[in-house]
Amino acid sequence: MRNKSLACLVVVLAAVISLSTGCVRRTASMAKAPAPGDAATSAVAFLNKTFVVAPFVIPATDADLPTGYLPSIRSVPEAAPVQLDAALDADLAGSGQHFVPSKMAYTCARSAQRGNETGRLATMRYWQNIGKCAGADFVLVPLVIDWSEREGSAIGATKPASVNLSLTLIDVRTGGIVKTFHFNETQQTLAANILEAKKFVSRNGRWLSAMELAQEGLKQGVKELGL
């Protein structure tokens, strides 16, 4: 009976997705065009370049962010950065880009200086110095901003998981931001957001843990950054 119900639900979802896709196609000509250079970033600017991935950190103040501001209320378990480092390493393992070994990245993160600037400028200089220490062209800066674990089980959660993280790619030569990916999601039910039907189906109707949700975000971020 459960399999039959799930099959019916998938059929309904497919119909909804089909209808929404049709709407997108009819209005595609009105969509905003991609910014010049976005598509060429990974194909040209990253050609024969070297990358270093800084360790995940939990920002303490707004100055620890490349852009934006921290939520007024947030909480991240101390173990999360280590778990996220392992997940990001796994996602980048099959990349066609050249990455500096993780051991060197950690060594450079411990020894890099913040410089004489204050606030965000000092933080940006620190990340730039990590790249210089590693002899890289680009440094990938991962931050975990907020983390709320699921309450309940995969088949029945009383509170959904929520994750807020970012991946920022910095040009070591200039110290400027090349691209930023921001993932801030709280899992929702199908009834709460019908537009997330594809995610609902791909997750088999399960309530994800915070780590599973974060892993989805990392995979999406790696893809969008062209890594």
Q: Are 143 and 80 in contact (CB under 8 A)?
A: no
- Do 217 and 186 fall into the same domain? yes
- Do 27 and 39 fall into the same domain? no
Domain range for residue 7? 1-32
- Do 135 and 189 fall into the same domain? yes
pLDDT for 69 equals 94
- Do 50 and 22 fall into the same domain? no
- Do 57 and 159 fall into the same domain? yes
Q: Are 21 and 105 in contact (CB under 8 A)?
A: no
**C-alpha span between 188 and 203 (Å, rounded):** 12
The total of structural domains in the chain comes to: 2
pLDDT for 195 equals 55
pLDDT for 116 equals 86
**C-alpha span between 11 and 122 (Å, rounded):** 54
pTM, whole model, 2 decimals?
A: 0.78
Other Cβ atoms less than 10 A from the Cβ of 48: the count is 7
- Do 11 and 64 fall into the same domain? no
- Do 115 and 171 fall into the same domain? yes
Give pLDDT tens digits along the chain (227 positions).
Answer: 444 444 444 444 444 433 333 333 333 333 333 343 444 455 567 888 999 999 999 999 999 999 999 999 999 999 999 999 999 999 999 899 999 999 999 999 999 998 788 899 999 999 999 999 999 999 999 999 999 998 888 787 788 899 999 999 999 999 999 999 999 999 876 555 565 666 766 776 788 999 999 999 999 999 999 99
pLDDT for 46 equals 86
pLDDT for 154 equals 76
Residue 113 identity (one-letter amino acid):
Q
